[in-house]
Amino acid sequence: MVRNVTSTLGCLLWASVLAPVLSSVDRREAFAQAVQQSPASSPGQPDFSWRQTDTSVALLNHGRVVWQQVYDRKIGKPYMRVGLLDGTELTRPWPIPPGYPKSDHTWHRALWWSWKGINGVNYWEEHQEGTDPVNVDVEHHEDGSAKIDATIEYHLPDKPPVVVEKRTIAIGKPDAAGSYLIDWRATFTPAGSEDVVFNRNGYGGLAIRMAAEFSGDAQKGPPAWEFIRSNEPDGTRKGAARWMAYKGTAPNGRPTAVVMFVHPDNPRFPPSWCTRNHYPYLNPCFVGGEDYTLPAGKSLTLRYGVLIHAAVADADKIERAWKRFTGAAGHE
């Protein structure tokens, strides 16, 4: 779908159909041109509208997609493509367009949730279709905010569910700069009378795969985005953090950061993380250390935040934002 094709062709404006037309060299040159030509002014007065179907909902600003949530039972695993108010996409498009650079790991779906293993069964890679959004309710508002409630069942093909998830995603109103917060809550409950084991793995859970351009291009584009993370107290296990961010210059030439927060009420807080330098990826991994056994009749609730920060970001700003998200002003 093409909602905003400018003469620069450089801003990843949800224009998936352009991918077969532009070679990787063309894309890099267009990206560099867009950075040079993009104004550094504010996004201006918003003009929000909504596009909703039986399987998706999207926020538009002046006709350009800001974010889109997809919950199609035919493909399973709901996912969310996120971007800026001018239509610049920050996540890697899914499905991945033909010719798109960094088309590895095709099961990485923008911003999405997937357990790696439940009771020894792989739910992560694309061959497992057992993450099933059986019911979704959407509430959206004129100010650009929305709430998405979903019931998701985890099951083997043609088998009853082993786990039922109740998920609420609350997307906040974009502020004057165009920043907005995605508040992600998920409660998991065994569907039957037996305990459920979420298997230990170095990745899995809430993850975001960002646009290929953020890996940088030494010849044609701006430098790669950089990771920054929270400072944790002495004695915290290696690699654990309450937040991590990926920041740099967006294709529209503006400083931007994508931040993931972990709420301190989560078990095993703060978690370990899976990140990648050769492709832009962030994932706080709940089962990074060991299996988690969820007893029958009990529930596990996990809460995260994803901040789309449309401005210059540093560790102090992000720490304050994490405290606002958690209400933990006194937390150290």
**Tens-binned pLDDT, residue by residue, of the chain (332 aa):** 333 323 232 333 454 323 333 333 343 344 334 333 433 334 579 999 999 999 999 999 999 999 999 999 999 999 999 999 999 999 999 999 999 988 889 999 999 999 999 999 999 987 666 899 999 999 999 999 999 999 999 998 889 999 999 999 999 999 999 999 999 999 999 999 999 999 999 999 999 999 888 887 656 666 889 999 999 988 888 889 999 999 999 989 999 999 999 999 999 999 999 998 778 899 999 999 899 999 999 999 999 999 999 999 999 999 999 999 999 644 44
Q: In the chain, what are the domain boundaries?
A: 16-38+46-326
The span from the CA of 205 to the CA of 75, in Å, is 18
Strands 272-276 and 255-262: unpaired
For position 128, what pLDDT does the model report?
63
- Architecture of the domain made up of 16-38+46-326: Distorted Sandwich (2.70)
Global pTM reads: 0.86
CB 211 within 8 A of CB 222: no
Give residue-wise pLDDT tens across range 66-75.
999 999 999 9
Name which of 306, 281, 316 is nearest 110 in CA terms: 281
Amino acid identity, residue 133?
Answer: P
State the first-to-last Cα distance of the chain, in angstroms, to the nearest integer. 45
The pair of three-digit structure tokens given for residue 53, joined into one six-digit string: 């179907």
For position 10, what pLDDT does the model report?
33
CB atoms within 10 A of CB 141: 12
The span from the CA of 129 to the CA of 165, in Å, is 15
The pair of three-digit structure tokens given for residue 226, joined into one six-digit string: 């950089």
Amino acid identity, residue 227?
Answer: F
Dihedral sign of CA atoms 307, 232, 248, 222 in order: negative
The span from the CA of 149 to the CA of 142, in Å, is 18
Dihedral sign of CA atoms 315, 267, 238, 280 in order: negative
Any idea which residue has 């179907």 for tokens? 53
CB 273 within 8 A of CB 284: yes
For position 12, what pLDDT does the model report?
37
For position 238, what pLDDT does the model report?
83
